[in-house]
Amino acid sequence: MNTINDTKKSGKGRPKRPTTPIMVRVADDELALIDAWISKNGAPYITRPEAIRRLVFETLKNE
């Protein structure tokens, strides 16, 4: 008889990447700017963390 431990996981979900989580506090006026950027650039919809990743990447890439 198979137990839960004997079953294989499906492998679904987000692929593993070497990442480091960070906590960032954002003022209300800064958050409003991020949300406005998402409204203009988030086709069709992106999350706040994804928007922040994109903004940081683009800024650093252009230096």
Percentage of the residues of the chain whose pLDDT score is greater than 90: 57
The mean pLDDT value for 42-60 works out to 92
Q: With respect to residue 4, please indicate whether it lies within any of the assigned structural domains.
A: no
Residue 33, pLDDT above cutoff 80: yes
Expressed as residue numbers, the domain containing 46 is: 24-63
For the chain, what is the domain count?
Answer: 1
Task: Please give the pLDDT value at position 32.
Answer: 97
Q: Which residues of 37-49 are buried (b: 16+ CB within 10 A; e: fewer)?
A: bbeeeeeeeeeee
Q: Which two structure tokens, joined as six digits, stand for 14? A: 């987000």
Task: Please give the pLDDT value at position 30.
Answer: 97
Q: With respect to residue 18, please indicate whether it lies within any of the assigned structural domains.
A: no
Residue 62, pLDDT above cutoff 80: yes
Residue 24, pLDDT above cutoff 80: yes
Distance CA 51, CA 55 (A): 6
Query: What's the predicted TM-score (pTM) here?
Result: 0.68
Report the 10 Å Cβ neighbour count for 51: 16
C-alpha 13, offset from chain centre: 14
